[in-house]
Chains A and B, each alone.
Chain A
């Protein structure tokens, strides 16, 4: 038996997409493969010495039929080619037509989308400005309060120092200087103090 010629259909055992044109016959891919057995396995015993009986070709029949077959095949080839070309042209026309429409539709949709986005971005910008304004105001308020507090602190220190200075000035009049020394000593010597006093506080009971 000669090698099996297999029409490659979708049920091939491994994924083939496109076979080279040399394997194609009438636009049909023809493979000579033993599917079940690997290449190195020898031919099966039953098929080893098989010799095919040649098909009987009667010369008169052949002479009559050959031109008819030739005519038939030429016509079929021509029809096939014609339909192929017609289909191809139609497909290309359809693609060109829909491409134009699709592209236009896409363009219009894209512009609409950009417009929507622009409005959204404007709204976002407005929100951001509000937020930043609020933050600015908050910062300013904090600064203001800080300044105020600092001023108050400064004022407090100032008044304290002023009162301290006034007190010192007041008490400095009572200081004992070199000029007053003699007088003050006289005063002290002439005065009499009584140390016989109670040690209890005002509110303590006896």
Chain B
């Protein structure tokens, strides 16, 4: 089985993407990253984009993320919020991990918020549910319930033919 193609192909694996911990606030709509190529001061920003952008987009699918190359004398990241506000994060001569941590502090959802959301999602997803969108379609699939009459005929007391139409049925 050949190796996955591309530089640092691990960035494209599901496990890597799911491990991203930066979840931006609901108020953030657009994230813009400006940096230069072959620029020592932009190195950190470039690395940030290389390693973390996939994770950020994966965890924030509704946030529009854009990158611009070689349009600025100094690298920066800007965030556009839904109330029209713009937050500028300077990234000159900064390491990728520093940038990541700073954005998490300033605009990321806190751990407790994320846990609350996870709990809310769990509550909604009751494992006992069945029907459209759940793992079991019909109540007959649940152990302990009456099996599907398509496979095992119902006892005659439960059949309309016997009860209401008073017809003779077996079993």
Cβ-based interface call for B129 (8 A): yes
Number of A-B contacts (CB under 8 A): 54
Which of the residues B41, B102, B132 comes within 8 Å of A128, measured between beta carbons? B41
Asked if B90 CB lies within 8 Å of chain A CBs, one says yes
> B131 contacts A113, CB within 8 Å?
no
Cβ contact of B92, chosen from A10, A14, A127, cutoff 8 A = A127
B67 within 8 A of A: no
Do B89 and A128 have beta carbons less than 8 Å apart?
Answer: no
Q: How large is the interface on B (under 10, 10 to 19, 20 to 34, 35 or more residues)?
A: 20 to 34
Is B10 in contact with chain A by the CB < 8 A criterion? no
Contact yes or no, B74 A12, CB < 8 A: no
Query: Is B88 interfacial (CB 8 A cutoff)?
Result: yes
Closest to B79 in A: A117
Known contacts A121-B88, A128-B93: does B132 contact A13 (CB below 8 Å)?
yes
Q: Does A76 contact B (CB under 8 A)?
A: no
Residues of A1-31 at the interface with B, using a CB-CB cut-off of 8 Å, are 1, 10-15
Chain A CB within 8 A of B106 CB: yes
Chain B residue nearest in CB terms to A9? B131
In the assembled complex, the Cα of A108 lies from the Cα of B126 at a distance in Å of 36
Q: Does A116 contact B (CB under 8 A)?
A: yes
Q: Which residues of A contact B41 (CB under 8 A)?
A: 128, 131
Pair A124/B93 contact, Cβ less than 8 Å: yes
Chain A positions within 8 Å of B94 at CB level: 124, 127
The distance in angstroms between the C-alpha atoms of A121 and B107, with both chains bound, is 15
Query: Which residue of chain A is the closest to B94 with respect to CB atoms?
Result: A124
Task: Tell me which residues across on chain B come within 8 A of A1, comparing CB atoms.
Answer: 164
Decide: A114 and B90 in contact? CB cutoff 8 A: no
Chain A residues contacting B164 (CB-CB under 8 Å) are: 1
Expressed in whole angstroms, the Cα–Cα distance for A163 and B105 within the complex equals 74
- Residues of A contacting B87 with CB < 8 Å? 114, 117
B139 close to A11 (CB less than 8 A): yes
Contact among B107, B131, B165 for A12, CB-based, below 8 A: B131
> Closest chain B residue to A120 by CB distance?
B102
Contact: B105 with A113, CB < 8 Å? yes
Measured in the bound complex, the distance between the Cα atoms of B105 and A124 in whole Å is: 16
Indicate if the CB atoms of A128 and B74 lie closer than 8 Å: yes
Which of chain B's residues 10-49 have a Cβ closer than 8 Å to chain A? 40-41
Partner of A10 from the list B40, B74, B89, B131 (CB cut-off 8 Å) is B131
Give bound CA distance, A131 to B94, whole Å. Answer: 12
**How close is A37's CB to chain B, nearest CB, in angstroms?**
15
Contact indicator B93/A120 (Cβ below 8 Å): no
A46 at the interface (CB under 8 A from B): yes
> Can you identify 13 A-B contacts, CB atoms within 8 angstroms?
A11-B130, A13-B131, A46-B165, A113-B106, A114-B87, A117-B88, A117-B106, A120-B89, A120-B102, A121-B90, A124-B92, A127-B92, A131-B41
